[in-house]
Amino acid sequence: MAFSLFTPKNRIINLVLNDHSIRFVELKQSDPPSAQKWRERFLPPGIIKDGKIVDIVSLTSNLEECIDEWKIQRRSIRFLVPDPLVIIRKVSIPAEIQDDEIKGYLYLELGSSIHLPFEEPVFDFYPLSDNGKTKDLLLFAAPEQQVMEYADLFSSLKLNPVAADISPLALYRLYHQLGHTGQNEILFTVQFDLTNVNLCIFEGSAPVVMRPLALPFDSDKWEIKRDSLGCMDCKYTGDADELVVQFEDVFREINKLLDFYRYTLNNEKHDATKFLLSGDHPMLQAIVDEMKERFEVPVVQLSFGAESNGKTGSVPANLLLSLGLALKEVH
């Protein structure tokens, strides 16, 4: 019985929910990353909006069907906190605060010297530097009520949430694991999905600024069905010019964030050195091509070949975020 820990049924399930889908990946191995199995389901509009659960009854019903169909009953899970709920902020604290006291200190300062756009946050931090007088940290925060709504929902369905993460870190973890990181790299990640885009700039492995954007989504103008692998197959049936307008808005926001990073965060010392583009948008290749035309910064996608093959074949690009989540350690 001692070896039962190593059987597939005890592997952690990696669950990613956003405004338009539920996805999961079960990791087979981490080096190189390989999926044992994966699945996804389209979520009709109005169930989750801007990361917040709007229709808990419909979401519960959809999750129950997924759990049953995917045979993931009573499993431990990791999940992503939806991008629109997450705030990343750089804060400075006195250097004399010991490492094991930092969380308590931040908790006391929230609402007084550290201001967030919501009360009662859940938060974590990432140490950046210590100059002897102050310590610089990255603070990751989200509204506790909304995060716990997801955790409580999973628990009510007999799933066991053991870790939460944010999407830029999950994506970067996979990028790093695949050996793509460069020296002195300033990586600008663009997670381009069907209903939202998430922009994030990394200094080394630290995500220093993040900006989530909602995309207009009219389900009447999209034809969505399952392909032969059980994945979402999305085709746009509306006026192509409407998508062009959406993309233009996103490119403008990318330029704004580049300028903010260059002039406000960085005193013109550094620029982004690379774009990493990923996501589930069916026009992703056209978006990559357009960005290569517009920006002088190199644009790359995660190259993922035969090493990602599991029982279900090569993992589709729109499930790479779940695979990055699967690489998170559970402490």
CA atoms within 13 Å, Cβ hemisphere of 53: 22
Residue range 12-28: average pLDDT?
93
Q: What would the two tokens of residue 321 be?
A: 């975020």
End-to-end alpha carbon distance in the chain: 24
- Per-residue model confidence (pLDDT) at position 288: 95
Please write the tens of the pLDDT for every residue from 67-98.
999 999 999 999 999 999 999 998 999 999 99
- Per-residue model confidence (pLDDT) at position 259: 92
Other Cβ atoms within 10 Å of 170 Cβ, number: 24
Q: DSSP character for 112?
A: T
Residue range 5-21: average pLDDT?
76
The residue that leads in pLDDT, 161 or 114, is 161
Please write the tens of the pLDDT for every residue from 250-289.
999 999 999 999 888 776 678 899 999 999 999 999 999 9
- φ, ψ for residue 6, nearest 5 deg: -100, 5
Confidence bin at 306 (pLDDT 50/70/90): very low
- Nearest-Å Rg of the Cα atoms of the chain is 20
The residue that leads in pLDDT, 193 or 331, is 193
Other Cβ atoms within 10 Å of 180 Cβ, number: 16
Residue range 287-313: average pLDDT?
74
Residue range 7-32: average pLDDT?
83
- Per-residue model confidence (pLDDT) at position 118: 87
Please write the tens of the pLDDT for every residue from 130-185.
888 999 999 999 999 999 999 999 999 999 999 999 999 999 999 999 888 888 89
How far, in Å, CA of 239 to CA of 218, rounded?
Answer: 12
- What CATH homologous superfamily does 2-86+142-326 map to? ATPase, nucleotide binding domain (3.30.420.40)
How far, in Å, CA of 140 to CA of 72, rounded?
Answer: 30
- Per-residue model confidence (pLDDT) at position 328: 87
CA atoms within 13 Å, Cβ hemisphere of 316: 19
Q: Does domain 87-141 have CATH number 3.30.1490?
A: yes
How far, in Å, CA of 323 to CA of 302, rounded?
Answer: 12
pLDDT for residue 109 is more than 70: yes
Parallel/antiparallel/unpaired status of strands 186-192 and 134-143? unpaired
Q: Which of 3-12, 15-24, 161-170, 178-187 has the lowest mean pLDDT?
A: 3-12
How far, in Å, CA of 190 to CA of 118, rounded?
Answer: 25
**258 within 8 A of 268, measured Cβ to Cβ:** no
- Per-residue model confidence (pLDDT) at position 182: 86
Q: Where are the beta strands (DSSP E) in the chain?
A: 13-18, 21-30, 33-42, 48-49, 52-53, 76-81, 87-94, 121-130, 134-143, 160-166, 186-192, 196-203, 206-214, 222-226, 232-236, 274-278, 299-301
Tell which residue, 66, 202, 93, 78, has the closest CA to residue 151: 78
How far, in Å, CA of 151 to CA of 243, rounded?
Answer: 35
- Per-residue model confidence (pLDDT) at position 313: 44
Q: Which of 20-34, 57-71, 125-139, 208-222 has the lowest mean pLDDT?
A: 20-34
pLDDT for residue 307 is more than 80: no
The residue that leads in pLDDT, 261 or 32, is 261
**Domain spans of the chain, in order of start:** 2-86+142-326, 87-141
Confidence bin at 303 (pLDDT 50/70/90): low
pLDDT for residue 7 is more than 80: no
**Could you tell me the CA-to-CA distances from 165 to 66, 79, 133 in Å, in that order?**
21, 6, 31
